[in-house]
């Protein structure tokens, strides 16, 4: 059978199953709590599936695999290790956040700091950051579908838009249901691909021995020296400072990321939330081992790919050129599943934040459940369309671009969130100064880097976090003494 | 002469730095949850 027909067939079957699987969510969603946190009803397994599928995005599937292919195991230090360390911090959130009975993360800020303005401000950060981050998922999906179905990139990205908008309309019930399907598909795709590659090379030891000898360029853009694939710093290609601070950006961005925290609040009780985070981290670790094998093994099988423009295109190329017909169809669907399962979660949180934390909060009036759902769905449509339009000219490397977006969450949410839960002297002013100071610091470093006034030796999140932490502590201390306004 | 110890074809320093940190980060949420539970039980 022709490969394109095979991909088309897999894609059609996936679409039919996906539509059927996700439709029940619409019936269950009647109000804001149903829409945003699935009525706080998630059990352990549904929670683990939705947490893991949301986590596992195009950045993981294509970004990590492609970067491991290009730079080797050093990639794991500044991405995966950082993410999983961030998940460790989420355990602290899981211990306390359920006490607040919230629908959105900005609502927590409102309750804790007694400020509707801060709720709206943090809601706005969520809206902007997720519009920018969804571009990653759209680009990841677009690259795969356009490469494998041999269609134009712009038509390909329109397809994910339809999938994502469809599931997000049904709220977290719908998203978590389709996440279960997507998790099964992506896990199956990763393990089968890893098994195929190991089998083709002749074992893990042989794979490493062959990888150690590689010193070729992936393409004219990406060059490494011999042995770099197996070296923790890719033979000094990345400085330890850069590896640590980029890992910090990802890790603390994960620790303060609303898409994971909202899943903790959506679980049925505190114990389930804690277990969900712990079990998900272990499952994710196992999945990343599969991606490492795919990345290094692909480099051994195909040491150079002259036709790619970025490392994110490596996986689609390998699927199309090296894998057996039946297997390539499943791996193709697993990449699509990864992109959709993350994008719909982000679009849902974005819409919840706009309608709940900005519109209802600032308009100061009660609205019916029907109107809330209507506004949320219109927001999904508009925000999804903005992300789609921005994806026409996407960023070059998903893994680096994503770390910038995540770093905004790290510097603006981290200290107000954790400080609010664990430090009684944290105040509204401290939280506001911390968020604004952190964002401004990142913006200044970013502008300096773009204008060439500063060469990036460490990730901007590092100075951003220092400023954010200092402002949170000092301003809270000063204002707590003065007003004692901590709740 | 520098001798590289290899385990499954992977240099030992890579296995310790990348592999060690990776495994630690994977199980750290569980370790933290157990510590917090222990502290909570002790308090009660």
What average pLDDT is seen over chain A? 88
- Kindly state the tokens that stand for A267: 């679980």
A484 versus A394: the higher-pLDDT residue is A394
Q: Give yes or no for A255 touching B (CB within 8 A).
A: no
B6's enclosing H/E stretch is strand B6-7
Whether the predicted pLDDT of A412 surpasses 50: yes
d(C-alpha A448, C-alpha A193), whole Å: 42
**B5-44 tens-digit pLDDT:** 888 889 999 999 999 999 999 999 999 999 999 999 988 8
A218 versus A66: the higher-pLDDT residue is A66
- Report pLDDT for B2: 56
C-beta pairs of A196-201 under 8 Å, 24+ apart in sequence: A196/A323, A196/A324, A196/A327, A197/A293, A197/A294, A197/A297, A197/A298, A197/A301, A198/A293, A198/A297, A200/A297, A200/A301, A200/A322, A201/A297, A201/A300, A201/A301
Q: Quick check: A6 and A331 in contact, CB under 8 A? A: no
Whole-angstrom CA distances from A69 to A38, A213, A295, A297 are 39, 14, 4, 8
B10's enclosing H/E stretch is strand B10-11
Q: Give yes or no for A285 touching B (CB within 8 A).
A: yes
- Report pLDDT for A219: 62
Whether the predicted pLDDT of A487 surpasses 50: no
Q: Give yes or no for A250 touching B (CB within 8 A).
A: no
Whether the predicted pLDDT of A419 surpasses 90: yes
- Report pLDDT for B15: 93
Whether the predicted pLDDT of A482 surpasses 70: no
B29–A87 CB contact, under 8 Å: yes
A202's enclosing H/E stretch is none
- Quote the minimal CA–CA distance from A449 to chain B in Å: 29
Where are chain A's structural domains? Answer: 3-395, 423-487
Q: Quick check: A172 and A27 in contact, CB under 8 A? A: no
- Report pLDDT for A220: 59
| Cβ neighbours of B29 in A, within 8 Å | 84, 87-88, 90-91, 277-278, 281
**A125-175 tens-digit pLDDT:** 999 999 988 888 888 888 888 888 888 888 888 888 888 887 788 888 888
**A42-65 tens-digit pLDDT:** 999 999 999 999 998 878 888 899
Among B9, B30, B32, select the one facing A204 at the smallest CB separation. Answer: B9
**Closest-CA residue in chain B for A233?**
B14
**A437-462 tens-digit pLDDT:** 999 999 998 888 777 766 667 778 88
| Cβ neighbours of B25 in A, within 8 Å | 80-81, 84-85, 87-88, 281, 285
**A327-342 tens-digit pLDDT:** 888 888 898 888 888 8
Interface with A, mutate which of B6, B26, B34 (most A CBs under 10 A): B26
A208–B9 CB contact, under 8 Å: yes
How is domain A3-395 classified at the CATH fold level? Answer: Sodium/glucose cotransporter (1.20.1730)
| Cβ neighbours of A230 in B, within 8 Å | 10-11, 14
DSSP per residue over A416-450, as a string? HHHHHHH-TT--HHHHHHHHHHHHHHHHHHHHHHH
Whole-angstrom CA distances from A18 to A48, A95, A188 are 19, 34, 16
**A274-330 tens-digit pLDDT:** 999 999 999 999 999 999 999 999 999 988 887 777 888 888 888 888 887 778 888
Residue B1's pLDDT band, with cuts at 50, 70 and 90, is very low
A358 versus A17: the higher-pLDDT residue is A358
In percent, the amount of chain A with pLDDT more than 90 equals 47
Q: Which residues of B touch A (CB under 8 A)?
A: 6, 8-11, 13-14, 17-18, 21-23, 25-30, 32-33, 36
All residues at 6 or more sequence positions from A394 whose CB lies less than 8 Å from its CB, including other chains: A135, A136, A138, A139, A142
Residue A399's pLDDT band, with cuts at 50, 70 and 90, is low
B11–A231 CB contact, under 8 Å: yes
All residues at 6 or more sequence positions from A447 whose CB lies less than 8 Å from its CB, including other chains: none
Whether the predicted pLDDT of A218 surpasses 80: no
Task: Give me Rg for the CA atoms of chain B.
Answer: 17
A85–B25 CB contact, under 8 Å: yes
A vs B: CB pairs below 8 A: 82
Would the ipTM clear 0.90, i.e. be above it? yes
- Report pLDDT for A166: 78
Whether the predicted pLDDT of A485 surpasses 60: no
Helix (H, G, I), strand (E, B) or coil at A215: coil
How far is CA A254 from its chain centroid?
8
Among B11, B14, B25, select the one facing A84 at the smallest CB separation. Answer: B25
- Report pLDDT for A287: 96
**A235-261 tens-digit pLDDT:** 877 888 888 888 887 888 889 999 999
- Report pLDDT for A309: 78
Among A84, A211, A274, select the one facing B28 at the smallest CB separation. Answer: A84
Q: Give yes or no for A80 touching B (CB within 8 A).
A: yes
Interface with A, mutate which of B2, B5, B14, B29 (most A CBs under 10 A): B29
């Amino acid at each position: 059978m022709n490969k394109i027909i095979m991909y088309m067939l897999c894609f059609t079957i996936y679409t039919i199953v996906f539509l059927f699987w996700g439709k029940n969510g619409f019936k269950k969603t009647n109000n804001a709590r149903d829409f945003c946190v699935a009525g706080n009803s998630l059990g352990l397994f549904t929670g683990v599936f939705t947490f893991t599928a949301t986590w596992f995005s195009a950045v993981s599937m294509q970004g990590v695999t492609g970067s491991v292919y290009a730079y080797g195991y050093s990639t794991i230090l500044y991405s995966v290790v950082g993410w999983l360390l961030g998940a460790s911090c989420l355990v602290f959130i899981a211990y306390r956040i359920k006490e607040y009975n919230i629908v959105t993360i900005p609502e927590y800020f409102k309750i804790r700091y007694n400020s509707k303005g801060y709720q709206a401000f943090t809601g706005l950060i969520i809206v902007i950051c997720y519009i920018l981050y969804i571009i990653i998922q759209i680009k990841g999906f677009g690259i795969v579908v356009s490469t494998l179905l041999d269609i134009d990139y712009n038509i390909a990205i329109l397809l994910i838009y339809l999938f994502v908008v469809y599931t997000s309309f049904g709220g977290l019930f719908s998203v978590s249901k389709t996440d279960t399907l997507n998790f099964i598909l992506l896990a199956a795709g990763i393990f089968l691909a890893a098994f195929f590659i190991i089998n083709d090379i002749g074992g893990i030891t042989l794979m490493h021995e062959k990888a150690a000898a590689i010193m070729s360029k992936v393409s004219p853009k990406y060059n490494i020296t011999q042995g770099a694939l197996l070296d923790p710093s890719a033979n000094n290609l990345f400085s330890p400072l850069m590896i640590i601070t980029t890992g910090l950006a990802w890790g603390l961005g994960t620790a303060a990321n609303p898409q994971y925290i909202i899943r903790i609040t959506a679980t049925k009780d505190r114990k389930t939330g804690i277990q969900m985070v712990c079990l998900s981290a272990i499952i994710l670790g196992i999945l990343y081992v599969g991606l490492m094998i795919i990345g290094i093994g692909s480099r051994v099988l195909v040491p150079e790919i002259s036709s790619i423009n970025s490392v994110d295109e490596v996986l689609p190329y390998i699927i199309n050129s090296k894998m057996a017909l039946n297997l390539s169809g499943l791996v193709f669907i697993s990449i699509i599943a990864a992109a959709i399962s993350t994008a719909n979660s982000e679009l849902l949180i974005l819409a919840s934040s706009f309608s709940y934390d900005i519109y209802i909060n600032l308009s100061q009036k009660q609205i019916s459940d029907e109107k809330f759902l209507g506004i949320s769905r219109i927001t999904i449509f508009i925000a999804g369309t903005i992300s789609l339009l921005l994806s026409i000219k996407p960023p070059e490397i998903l893994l680096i671009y994503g770390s910038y977006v995540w770093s905004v969450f790290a510097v603006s949410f981290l200290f107000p969130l954790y400080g609010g839960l664990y430090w009684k002297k944290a105040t509204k002013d401290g939280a506001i100064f911390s968020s604004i100071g952190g964002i401004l610091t990142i913006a200044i470093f970013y502008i300096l880097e773009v204008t060439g006034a500063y060469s990036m030796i460490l990730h901007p999140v590092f100075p951003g976090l220092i400023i954010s932490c200092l402002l949170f502590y000092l301003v809270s201390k000063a204002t707590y003494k003065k007003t004692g306004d901590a709740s | 002469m520098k001798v590289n110890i290899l385990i499954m074809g992977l240099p030992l320093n890579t296995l310790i730095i990348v592999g060690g940190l990776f495994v630690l980060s994977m199980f750290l949420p569980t370790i933290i949850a157990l510590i917090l539970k222990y502290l909570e039980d002790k308090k009660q």
